[in-house]
Amino acid sequence: MNKRPLPVTILSWLYIATGGAGFAIHAKELSTQSVFHLDALWLVVLPLLAIAAGVNMLRAHNWARWLALAWIAFHVVISTFDSLQKLIVHVILLALFAYFLFRPEATTYFRPREQTTS
């Protein structure tokens, strides 16, 4: 098994913590009247996607790093409708996350292992 690079570990736990906090915050905001609205659904699904990305990056699933990148890229898109400051922060985070998740060490870690037959 390939050793997990420290930046991947840090980012994975950051996604898990961010997703957990986001879910806790937004789950309290949901009411029975808004539970069927699309925006209310996103408030619950997006944090769960962050948690799924973090957990599965720890398990070396390649699709999870793509999910993590898509998650932060989505935040870049929605921050274009908010303040310039939030947009800049999300763009910087996207660039940093992409850099660390696609470095050669990370690519090796996420590469599928050959299975041995016994």
| Token code pair at residue 69 | 């990148």
Q: Which two tokens stand for residue 37?
A: 């609205």
Mean pLDDT of 74-96: 96
Helices (H), the chain: 6-29, 38-58, 62-79, 84-101, 104-110
Position 34 scores a pLDDT of 57
Confidence of residue 58 (pLDDT cuts 50, 70, 90): very high
Q: What's the rounded mean pLDDT across residues 83-96?
A: 97
Give dist(CA 92, CA 95) in Å, integer: 5
Q: Which amino acid is at 112?
A: P
Say which range, 1-5, 79-83, 90-94, 99-103, has the weakest mean pLDDT: 1-5
